[in-house]
Amino acid sequence: MSTVGNPANIFWHENPVRKVEREKLLNQQGCVVWITGLSGSGKSTLACSLGRELQSRGKLSYVLDGDNLRHGLNKNLGFSPESRTENIRRTGKCIHKLSIGEVANLFADAGLICIASLISPYRKDRDACRALLPDKKFIEVFMNMPLQLCEDRDPKGLYKLAREGKIKGFTGIDDPYEPPLNCEIELQLKDGVVPTPHEMAGQVVSYMENEGFLEA
């Protein structure tokens, strides 16, 4: 009987260059900034702004955007609860040493700041991703924007299609979004006004500075 694929026959090969050495070289700590919120809340915009701000400070990051992942890694998934869970599993588990096929492991393990931008509506899935990372290297950022604001924006026309019944299982309309209970950062309206992407990115960067992520 073939034993190909049997975990008992697979061994982890330690890299002589340790993660802490890579972090020292980059002068930063490998971690994951997980941006969650409704469609249209500004997740991707914040991710790009944050990446640019980190770049201007000489910090190396990489953005994993939910829509982009669905063009490649998760292109065979829909939007059912099961598919959403698998979408998060593939994205979240990539951040830890689990298997060669789980790509995002390379980013955090390489000492990069991995910025993951996904609706990720279910609390248990986000918490499962958090549990994979050691030493509090998971920074959950909640884009707490009102549904009405997101629906008014509707940059991709998806809310309109969901309201017309042409999209089923759409978060915020006929599928729930479970807000974080203990996120590190919550971004919301200030006096009824949406903060600029630069302001929000600055808030995330300030947190990372205070927690020591931007130095080895």
Position 15 confidence tier, pLDDT thresholds 50, 70, 90: confident
CB-CB contact of 127 with 20 (8 Å):
no
Average pLDDT of the chain, as a whole number: 83
Catalytic residue among 49, 56, 120, 206: 120
**Adjacency order of strands within the sheet including 185-187:** 61-65, 113-117, 31-37, 138-143, 185-187
Residues 118-163 have pLDDT tens digits of: 898 989 888 878 877 777 889 999 999 999 999 999 998 999 999 9
> Structure tokens of 205?
């960067």
Position 71 confidence tier, pLDDT thresholds 50, 70, 90: very low
**Is 2 assigned a catalytic role?**
no
CA-closest candidate to residue 91, choices 117, 57, 111, 109: 117
Number of Cβ within 10 Å of residue 80's Cβ equals 12
Quote the pLDDT of residue 11. Answer: 78
Q: CA-to-CA distance for 52 and 49, rounded, in angstroms?
A: 5
CB-CB contact of 39 with 150 (8 Å):
yes
Q: Which domains does the chain have, with CATH numbers?
A: 18-210 (3.40.50.300)
* pLDDT above 70 as % of the chain: 78
Q: CA-to-CA distance for 150 and 36, rounded, in angstroms?
A: 13
